[in-house]
């Protein structure tokens, strides 16, 4: 069964020719994983063909994993571009000189991956790009006050030589990061920019729908004055947070313990969190050593240091941590906005009674395909029963699974709609299935 009509201009996504290698290796017995360092997300993402470990702390994103990560990138792009951020791409290799200039070469120490090039110059595989972008702005032809603020970001690979990489993509040596850098005239403007990015970050995490907390952060190796961290509460979290029961405000315990909330006096409680985002108001910490300046508009024209901010979201970590929080021990669950495919259609086994409903199967594929374009996958494998297909679809965690079961050949045919994220099963007429999917479509919006 190869229904192609609704994918005329697109590649059709059918499981019969998709690359999703389910693992037959029992949990925790793979040669590559260290069970002590295992997490639900690492285990399930690997076992169900979404991600594959390549080496210590390095991973292949297989087709479904790359789809999920790309959707997350698109979601982030949308929110950042709404506030006037522009996307660029900086090289992964940065000169060791930049890191000496900022003083971070020794500060970061052995986590910094570096090599000597064939001309004997030290080069760094960048874990972050403050030095790189500040140095670029410093060597540009002068920018004017009227050109500010500048808000540039990228999404790409970052490198860190972890002593003990763990939990799959959650603590990896190579990972995908969205990093944004802003440049303002003065510290007041920089604070305004900081607040607008904060709102964008809240929008991003709210659209994702995984519970999160924002706490005062530790500026750590990045430096600066104000900093906030975004965390997904989870037992495997590496950070300990103190969150106020009353106002929801909080801080990282690294800032020191308190019994009461500084903002409202409420009682605080401890929780573990996976850090998924971090924002920093940097001031001139980087613009100063790199002498990154703009020209004032007013006469006499003078050169003034940029006031900077930097803002990171761990894209691959968010993907894995979302799954970590939402999944069961045996089945993946995704935020609806970034599931590899929003809808899966499970067609009847070849030669089964239900295979007689071919016309209906065809109609549904076309209708769903028109609504979700390339965001639907069809499990068209002839040799498998719908029961086996459903088990795989549940493991993979498609938010909406449309199944052609026994009642699809009734005179008033019914299909099964499994809404995995709300753990709901409905038996519905085809038109009713479409109504439910239309609501889902409206909610997930314009992502791929």
- What is the contact surface with its own copies in residues (CB under 8 A)? 9-11, 17-19, 21-25, 32, 52, 54-56, 58-63, 65-66, 69, 81-82, 84, 86-95, 110, 113-115, 117-119, 121, 123, 125, 132, 136, 139-143, 150, 152, 156-157, 159, 161, 163, 173-174, 446
Give 368's DSSP letter. Answer: H
**Of residues 379, 390, 393, 400, the one with CA closest to residue 443:** 400
Provide the minimum distance between the beta carbon of 302 and its own copies in the complex, in angstroms, as a whole number.
Answer: 18
Q: Tell the smallest beta-carbon distance from residue 77 to its own copies (Å).
A: 9
Selection from 38, 39, 31 nearest residue 55 by Cα: 31
Identify the helix (H) or strand (E) that includes residue 364: helix 358-372
Based on CB atoms, which residue is closest to its own copies, 178 or 414? 178
User: Of 193 and 271, which CB lies nearer to its own copies in the complex structure?
Assistant: 193
Do 4 and 12 form a contact (C-beta atoms < 8 A)? yes
Residue closer to its own copies (CB basis): 88 or 264: 88
* Contact present, 245 and 267 (Cβ < 8 Å): yes
CA torsion angle 201 204 208 214 (round to 10)? 10
We find the least distance from the C-beta atom of residue 273 to its own copies, in angstroms, to be 26
Quote the least distance from Cβ 361 to its own copies, whole Å. Answer: 22
Q: CB-wise, 176 or 271, nearer to its own copies? A: 176
Please state the φ and ψ torsions of residue 246, each to the nearest 5 degrees.
-85, -55
Minimum Å gap between C-beta 277 and its own copies is 21
| CB 265, min distance to its own copies, A | 42
The count of C-alpha atoms lying within 13 angstroms of the C-alpha of 173, restricted to the half-sphere facing its C-beta, is 18
CB of 423 to its own copies, least distance (A): 29
Phi, psi of 223 (to 5 degrees): 90, 180
**Cα gap 24→442, rounded to integer Å:** 37
Neighbours of 116 (CB within 10 A): 10
The closest alpha carbon to 229, from 157, 314, 171, belongs to 314
Nearer to its own copies, 31 or 256 (CB): 31
CB of 96 to its own copies, least distance (A): 10
List, in order, residues 6 or more apart from 7 with CB less than 8 Å away: 13, 369, 374
List CB contacts of 6: < 8 A, sequence separation 6 or more. 12, 365, 366, 369, 370
* Nearest CB to its own copies, comparing residues 115 and 220: 115
CB of 393 to its own copies, least distance (A): 19
Token pair, residue 448, equals 């791929």
Rounded least distance, CB 138 to its own copies, Å: 12
Closest CB to its own copies among residues 135, 252: 135
Closest CA to 273 of 237, 226, 222, 322: 237
The nearer residue to its own copies, 142 or 269, going by C-beta atoms, is 142
Do residues 214 and 252 lie in contact, with contact meaning Cβ atoms separated by under 8 Å? no
Cβ distance to its own copies smaller for residue 132 or 342:
132
Q: How far apart are the first and last CA of the chain?
A: 25
Token representation of residue 332: 């993946």
Which of 166, 195, 96, 157 minimizes the C-alpha distance to 316? 157
Nearer to its own copies, 2 or 431 (CB): 2
- Contact (CB, 8 A) for 179 and 154: yes
CB of 145 to its own copies, least distance (A): 14
Q: Packing angle between helix 430-444 and helix 358-372, nearest 10 degrees?
A: 20
**Cβ proximity to its own copies, 67 vs 228, nearer residue:** 67
């Amino acid at each position: 069964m190869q229904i192609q009509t609704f994918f005329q201009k697109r590649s059709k996504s059918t499981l019969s020719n998709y690359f999703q290698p389910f693992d037959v290796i029992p949990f925790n017995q793979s040669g590559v994983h260290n069970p002590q360092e295992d997490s639900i997300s690492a285990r399930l993402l690997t076992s169900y063909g979404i991600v594959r470990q390549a080496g210590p702390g390095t991973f292949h994103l297989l087709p479904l994993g790359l789809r999920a990560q790309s959707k997350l990138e698109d979601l982030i792009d949308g929110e950042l571009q709404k506030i006037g951020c522009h996307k660029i791409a900086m090289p992964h290799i940065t000169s060791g000189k930049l890191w000496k200039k900022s003083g971070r070469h020794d500060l970061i120490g052995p986590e910094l991956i570096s090599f000597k090039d064939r001309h004997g110059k030290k080069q760094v595989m960048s874990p972050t790009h403050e030095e790189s972008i500040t140095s670029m702005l410093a060597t540009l032809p002068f920018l004017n006050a009227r050109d500010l603020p500048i808000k540039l970001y990228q999404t790409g690979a970052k490198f860190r030589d972890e002593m003990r990489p763990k939990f799959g993509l959650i603590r990896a040596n190579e990972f995908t990061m969205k990093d944004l850098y802003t440049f303002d005239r003065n510290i007041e403007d920089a604070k305004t920019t900081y607040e607008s990015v904060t709102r964008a970050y809240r929008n991003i995490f709210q659209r994702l729908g995984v519970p999160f907390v924002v706490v005062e952060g530790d500026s750590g190796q990045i430096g600066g004055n104000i900093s906030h961290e975004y965390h997904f509460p989870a037992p495997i979290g590496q950070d300990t947070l103190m969150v106020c029961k009353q106002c929801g405000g909080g801080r990282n315990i690294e800032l020191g313990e308190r019994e009461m909330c500084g903002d409202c006096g409420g009682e605080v409680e401890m929780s573990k969190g996976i850090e998924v985002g971090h924002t920093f108001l940097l001031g001139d910490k980087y613009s100063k050593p790199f002498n990154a300046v703009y020209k004032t508009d007013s006469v006499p024209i003078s050169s003034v240091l940029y006031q900077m901010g930097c803002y990171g979201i761990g894209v691959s970590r968010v993907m894995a941590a979302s799954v970590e929080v939402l999944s069961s021990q045996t089945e993946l669950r995704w935020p609806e906005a970034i599931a590899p495919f929003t809808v899966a259609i499970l067609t009847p086994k070849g030669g089964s009674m239900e295979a007689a409903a071919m016309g209906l199967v065809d109609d549904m594929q076309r209708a769903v395909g028109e609504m979700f374009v390339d965001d639907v996958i069809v499990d068209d494998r002839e040799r498998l029963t719908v029961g086996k297909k459903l088990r795989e679809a549940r493991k993979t965690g498609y938010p909406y699974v449309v199944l052609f079961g026994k009642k699809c050949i009734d005179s008033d045919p019914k299909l099964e709609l499994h809404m995995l994220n709300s753990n709901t099963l409905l038996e519905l007429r085809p038109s009713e299935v479409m109504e439910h999917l239309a609501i889902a479509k409206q909610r997930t919006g314009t992502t791929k």
